[in-house]
Structure 1
Amino acid sequence: MRRLSLLLVLPLALAACDGKGGTSVSINATSDDGDNSTFAMNNGTVAIKGDGFEGSFKVPQIKMTAENFDMNGVKLYPGSEIGNFHIDANDKPGNAKDEGKVTVDFTSPADLAKVQGWFQEKLTGKGFKFAAKGNGFAGTTDDGDPFTLDLSADGGAKTKGRIEISGS
């Protein structure tokens, strides 16, 4: 339950950072006692729903960039912008392993080959175990958490990407 509270506080802290445009942020969490909570921020509106509470309010839009994301020491390609940031958290009772997944959708200001090479260098440098998968990569972080990185050309000098990290 304590972890759930921390997950809900993080995006509120981010909301204090005024940015142009906006990143959609969402969190779905289930506590070890089965309570469900959701947090969604989109276009300057925050909606929160939890056990005994539901509400929405306006905040300045945030814009998350490469500097706001870190996957065990690996940031996004420089100049990348995050369009969606989503967390699914599922606390398990007792000593059972908690489950969770983070999904990040982003756009990078470089062609596919350059972004692929950049990520390959950074992942290797941080000790990730991975292999090519389609236009991206799949493997485990230096902590052993599974991840996938899907990349696709987005016309000219742009690349779209999605990172999914699973673990506890």
Structure 2
Amino acid sequence: MSLNGAFSEEESVQRIPIIVSGLEGYAEKSCGGWGFYGKWASHTGYRHTHGSELDKEGLQHVAEELHREQSPLCYLIGDEHKEFGWKKVRINMHGHVEIRLPQWADTSIKDALSSLGVCMSCPSNCYWVFPTDVELYQAKEVLEPLLQPNTRFADETDLARKLLENFPSSELGFRETQLSLF
């Protein structure tokens, strides 16, 4: 580190480990600023910031701000820009109910959704679709545990369990039970 607390050019290619609220990640010098990597950085696990004169304390502070910005959010990701409402559950152009998971979503969430008949439709954007006969209100009812505020960084195994527990009491779960009786 230089005398002013900034990282030297040699150090800039290194990953600077950062832990925020138990979530591991790192910062890396990039063109014109810093790249932050970790769940706390964004729903993609990456966020770029401008400004190259940051020391370790400054990097930690930025990471904590990124975490604070996302902590109150629900687990599911919006489909549009924030100013248009960030619809969490929507009807896509093919008429299917669609949701978007964080890029870093755990397999427990993905397995729970798959067991409910929800399929990944776009791996690069982590979009998942419900079967064609599922209505928007039914999907929202089932997804209620993932739509709660402050669940962005909740334990994903616990969220998956809540999702599966919520299904039988939802209209979709009731419908499935009724159909299996015939």
- TM-score for the superposition, normalised by structure 2: 0.23
Task: Decide which structure has the larger Cα Rg and report it.
Answer: 2
- TM-score for the superposition, normalised by structure 1: 0.24
More helix by share: 2
